[in-house]
Homo-oligomer: A and B are copies of this chain.
Amino acid sequence: MPAAPTRGYTASKEQLLKRLRRVEGQVRGVQRMVEEDRYCIDVLTQISAAQAALDKVALGLLDEHARHCIAQAEGEERLTKSDELMDAVGRLLRHG
């Protein structure tokens, strides 16, 4: 079996997965609130919390990516990777 490629986030993978599991728990919490007919505004507050947590994961990934993948690229490739990164930032700013 070939080894998994090393990504910018490999070093922080466990922390990343922990955060993502917490986001999953938050989204399930929102489902439970809807099932229990909880007050709309409280449901929205919980959704904002999940969004903030996802933002944090995304920023962490961007940061690792910039530090590793771009920093280690050379010449032309670095420009391509930089554009690719900024496209990802654009998608995050506008949410897809």
Residues of A at under 8 Å CB distance from B?
A: 4-10, 13, 16-17, 20-21, 23-24, 27-28, 30-31, 34-41, 43-45, 47-52, 54-55, 57-59, 61-67, 69-71, 78-79, 82-96
C-alpha gap A24/B40 in the complex (Å): 19
A17 proximity list for chain B (CB < 8 A)? 31, 34-35
A89 proximity list for chain B (CB < 8 A)? 59, 62, 89, 92
A10 proximity list for chain B (CB < 8 A)? 37
A28 proximity list for chain B (CB < 8 A)? 24
By beta carbon, the residue of chain B nearest A12 is B34
- With A4-B37, A43-B61, A44-B88 given, can you name 7 additional A-B contacts, CB distance below 8 Å? A5-B37, A17-B31, A20-B30, A40-B62, A41-B84, A44-B65, A92-B93
